[in-house]
Amino acid sequence: MYLRHLSLTNFRSYARLELPMPEGTVLLCGPNAQGKTSLLEAIYYLATGRSPWTTSDRQLLNWRAESEILPFIRISAELCSRRSALTRLEITIYKASENGGFCKEIRINGAKKRVLDLMGNLNVVMFLPQDLALVEGSPVDRRRYLNVVLAQTDPNYAAALQRFDRVLTQRNALLRQIAERRATTRELAYWDDQFVQAGSILVASRQRLLRDLEQLAADIHRQLTNGAERLALHYLPGFAPAARENGQLAHHAPSLELQHPLTPSEIEARLRSALAESLREEVVRGVTLIGPQRDELRFSINGRDLGLYGSRGQARTAILALKLAELAWMREVIQDEPVLLLDEFIAELDAERRAFLLERIQGASQALLTTTEPEIFTPAFLQKALVWQVRSGQITPFHS
């Protein structure tokens, strides 16, 4: 799939942009703070209904539009994919009243839709420098990673995630009321059912995704390390009340055997018994202590935990393998080529890994790469790519 046209209104530094887009590889060059990242951010927003960096849509509004009484942001694109020759995606983020917050309106081919309906139209794989720190980062980052990959490809997952977040908030509020003796534990039953229902969808999908990603990533990783290292993924679902949250491996929370996945009813049973087991402590602490909001993903190389024992270089190689596995996985699931967005990613890699990655993204229908240093790309790559210059929100083909 590829975007044929992108229009932006009041999105970040783009007051107005009408950009016809080609198939193939485009290298967006320019100094810092010119609008390269913002362009990729807008495309990511069309795929996921959110920005990879901010949850506050207000930040996306062009500063010059801030003084308008009812300002709005619009991102729209024409998408060509195997499934449909042409799909028009349009997101308007607007202020409905002067003192209110921002609302979102989604239109697909002109018809009003829910944010959930947006998912699965445009699929992107984004490569960010911060992905390379995923091994060292917090479990929150790794859960977000899983959510973004799954929500984009599986509307059921996206819906379950939305439900789960709401249920968790409600359940936590109720636990606080119980702690203050303003409610009884009997009132939990309803929320526990909802929690287990939505939660087990999340666990089952994550388990399946990680099983597939592990196989693909291990294979790519073997090539990247000339067969010297064996990468494995470990899914530690938050079934155990004591799962630690500090980014370290919680040794007592066993990882699932990805090759022998739990069945949906087993997952439900595990969630239920974990809820029952942790009830007393949850009431004391006024917060839900078990569940997929505490899931953890760990990486190991030759059987040793990468976050604890790996070098920086090993962690980066593992993440590069994971991202390429994600790309292969997505191709398979959507039966199409996702749009690739690489923000300053290439510059973060050494020459060998750079060549490895660039070779593997060659087949993409559309890949957008940003860089401040076009000279790091080989002449052979530059010859095949279109090179565009980005300056103060203006995008022009570059002629050397």
Ligand X SMILES: Nc1ncnc2c1ncn2[C@@H]1O[C@H](COP(=O)(O)OP(=O)(O)O)[C@@H](O)[C@H]1O
Residues lying near Mg ion in the complex (CB under 5 A) = 36-37
Q: Does 149 bind ligand X (CB under 6 A)?
A: no
62 binds, among ligand X, Mg ion, none (CB under 5 to 8 A by kind): ligand X
140 φ/ψ angles, rounded to the nearest 5 degrees: -55, -45
Q: How far is the CB of 65 from ligand X (least distance, A)?
A: 8
Q: Does 33 bind ligand X (CB under 6 A)?
A: yes
Give the torsion sign (CA, 97, 103, 104, 110). negative
Q: Does 34 bind ligand X (CB under 6 A)?
A: yes
Contacts of 333 (CB under 8 A, 6+ apart): 153
**Among residues 324, 135, 349, which one has the least CA distance to residue 221?**
324
Q: How far is the CB of 342 from ligand X (least distance, A)?
A: 12
Q: Does 38 bind ligand X (CB under 6 A)?
A: yes
CB nearer to ligand X: give 61 or 124: 61
Question: In whole angstroms, what is the distance from residue 273 CA to residue 237 CA?
Answer: 14
* Contact (CB, 8 A) for 28 and 368: yes
End-to-end Cα, the chain, rounded Å: 30
Q: Using alpha carbons only, give the angle 305, 260, 133 rounded to the nearest 5 degrees.
A: 30
**Among residues 310, 218, 206, 328, which one has the least CA distance to residue 258?**
206
Q: Does 55 bind ligand X (CB under 6 A)?
A: no
CB nearer to Mg ion: give 36 or 206: 36
Q: How far is the CB of 295 from ligand X (least distance, A)?
A: 31
Q: Which of residues 355-394 bind ligand X (CB under 6 A)?
A: 390
Q: Which of residues 56-115 bind ligand X (CB under 6 A)?
A: 59-63
Q: How far is the CB of 32 from ligand X (least distance, A)?
A: 4
Q: How far is the CB of 47 from ligand X (least distance, A)?
A: 17
For residue 281, what is the DSSP state?
H
Q: Which of residues 3-22 bind ligand X (CB under 6 A)?
A: 12-13
Interface with ligand X (CB under 6 A): 12-13, 30, 32-38, 59-63, 390
